[in-house]
Amino acid sequence: MPELRHRTPRRAGTPPTARVRGARTRAVVRAAVLLAALGSALGATGCGKEGSPPARGPQPGKLPRYTVDTGFALPGSPTWQRAKKRGRLTIGVKEDQPGMGEMNPATGVYSGFDVEIANMVAASLGFDPDKDVTYKAIASANRETALQNGQIDYYVGTYTINDGRKKLVGFAGPYYIAGQKLLVRADEEGLRGPQDMAGRKICSAVGSTPLQRIEADHPEAVSVAYDSYAICVDNLLNNQVDAVTTDDTILLGYAAKDPEKLRVVGKAFSEEPYGIGVPREDTELAQALDTAITAHEKNGDWKRAYDVTLGLSGVPAPPPPRIDRSLTS
């Protein structure tokens, strides 16, 4: 009460500017309180569990370790030279493809068959995968740009070798021949390959080559397009579509997360040779990578890498493909 009495006369007496200033002070206080509330709300979320949610599906055993070739030198490759001077190799990978290249959102750790391939050839180039390698997630649309402007030294991520891309980047490999297949629910009986797709809902990523192939070659199937394969798989598990189709590698990656419920079926109805993308002029690097891939295929690293990643789906490793030397000549 006394406060109120005190305030009223002062207000009447003060010049308008002071009144504005008073209002401003109050507003600043109000804003500060608001900010503090926001801050504490953010702070409140700061308490949580360490680590990451348990990964689904069968867990891989010990990941293979690759012998680092410390004496390796490749003076003719500008990319390798730059990496050596930096002391680190920057490898472009995928971050959203389970089984091939996936980043654990909670821990930031990359895993998958592509990542293992990237690691084994890094070891051959003289970089320790545990210490001297930085992964950089590069989306499919930006792979060429990333290689052209030197964001990454090489790229390993479901990268199909084709003529269009050969004009923009160089390739080593192939290190795997993928093919378009179907992912179905494990209890699915009537859908075993492309011949059974009539009237069934087949899902793929919008604008992707597998989707175009289904639409062109199998008009009897009902094609459904979503923004990413993950949405397709989610809809498959919820019975909204009957199959997901794309490269078997990607499908095996999903199947490995839930082999009880998901299964890859059919014969491949396309051939997708996966290569390691390198800067276009750097044939020396591509040749060195070819040599490295061959060596790791021979000493069993390649198969071990498959077994701890895509192999978890229950599908055994195929024989590794033959390196295409014409790519680097």
Partner 1 sequence: MNVLTQNFQLYGDGFLGTLRLTVYSSLLALALGVVMAGFRVAPVGALRGVGTAWVAVLRNTPLTLLFFAMLLGLPRFGVALPFELFAVLALGCYTSSFICEAVRSGINTVPLGQGEAARSLGMTFGQTLGTVVLPQAFRTVIAPVGSTLIALCKNSAIAGSFSVTELLSTYKTLNENGYSVLWSFVWIALGYLILTLAISALFHFMERRWGAAR
Partner 2 sequence: MTARRSPQARSSAPPAASALYDVPGPRTRIRHFCYGVLTVLALAALLGWVVDLLVGTGQFSAVKWRPFSYVGIQELLLRGLGNTLKAFAMAAVLALALGAVLAAGRLSDHRPVRWVSTVLVEFFRAMPVLVMIFFIFVALQVQPLPALVAGLTLYNGSVLAEVFRSGVRSVDRGQREAAYALGLRKTQVMTHVLVPQAVRAMLPTIISQLVVALKDTSLGFLITYEEFLHAGRLIAINMDYTMPFIPIVLVISAIYIGLCMLLSWFATWVSRRERRSVKAGRSGAVRVAPAEAGSAMPGGSGIR
Q: How far is the CB of 2 from partner 1 (least distance, A)?
A: 41
Q: Which stretch binds partner 1 (CB under 8 A): 84-92, 159-167, 186-194, 296-304?
A: 159-167
Of residues 69 and 234, the one with the C-beta less far from partner 2: 234
Residues 77 and 126 sit within 8 Å (Cβ to Cβ): no
Q: What whole-number distance in Å separates Cα of residue 303 and Cα of residue 92?
A: 22
Residue 167 interacts with partner 1 (CB under 8 A): yes or no:
yes
Run of H or E including 277:
strand 272-278
Contacts of 156 (CB under 8 A, 6+ apart): 91, 92, 93, 101, 114, 115, 117, 118, 276, 277
Would you give the binding string for partner 1 spanning residues 225-244, x where CB under 8 A is met?
Answer: xxx---x--xx----x----
39 vs 300, beta carbon nearer partner 2: 39
Smaller CB separation from partner 2, 215 or 234:
234
Q: Is 148 in the site for partner 2 (CB under 8 A)?
A: yes
With CB under 8 A as the contact rule, the residue among 34, 168, 186, 198 that binds partner 1 is 168
| Residue 219 binding target from partner 1, partner 2, none, CB below 5 to 8 Å by type | none
- Does position 48 interact with partner 2 (CB under 8 A)? The reply is yes
Per DSSP (E only), the strands in 63-179 are 89-93, 96-97, 101-103, 110-111, 133-137, 154-155, 170-178
Residue 288 binding result from partner 1, partner 2, none, given CB thresholds of 5 to 8 Å by partner type: none
Which SS3 state, helix, strand or coil, does residue 255 take? helix
Amino acid 234 reads D
Q: Applying CB under 8 A, which of residues 207, 216, 326, 329 lies at the interface with partner 1?
A: 207
98 touches partner 2 (CB under 8 A): yes
Q: How far apart are the first and last CA of the chain?
A: 93
Token representation of residue 292: 């490295």
Sequence-ordered list of residues with C-beta below 8 angstroms from that of 260, at least 6 positions apart, any chain: 186
- Contact string 120-139 vs partner 2 (x = CB under 8 A): -----------------xxx
Q: Does 38 bind partner 1 (CB under 8 A)?
A: no
Sheet containing 101-103: give its strands across: 96-97, 101-103, 110-111
Select 142 or 283, whichever has its Cβ closest to partner 1.
Answer: 142
- Any residues with CB less than 8 A from the CB of 242 and at least 6 apart, and which? 184, 188, 191, 200, 201, 202, 236
Q: Are 178 and 264 in contact (CB under 8 A)?
A: no
Q: Which residue has the tokens 């895993």?
A: 111
Stretch that binds partner 2, among 97-105, 163-171, 179-187, 311-319 (CB under 8 A): 97-105
Q: 273: closest CA among 162, 114, 170, 139?
A: 162
Question: Distances in Å between the alpha carbon of 47 and those of 31, 95, 107?
Answer: 25, 26, 16
The stretch near partner 2 (CB under 8 A) out of 42-50, 152-160, 162-170, 204-212 is: 42-50
Picked from partner 1, partner 2, none, the partner binding residue 182 (CB below 5 to 8 A depending on kind) is: none
Q: Which is nearer to partner 1, 6 or 167 (CB)?
A: 167
Sites of contact with partner 2 (CB under 8 A): 15-17, 19-20, 23, 27, 42, 45-46, 48-56, 95-96, 98, 102-108, 137-139, 141-142, 145, 148-149, 151, 228, 230-231, 233-234, 238, 254, 257-258
Sites of contact with partner 1 (CB under 8 A): 141, 144, 164-165, 167-168, 206-207, 224-227, 231, 234-235, 240
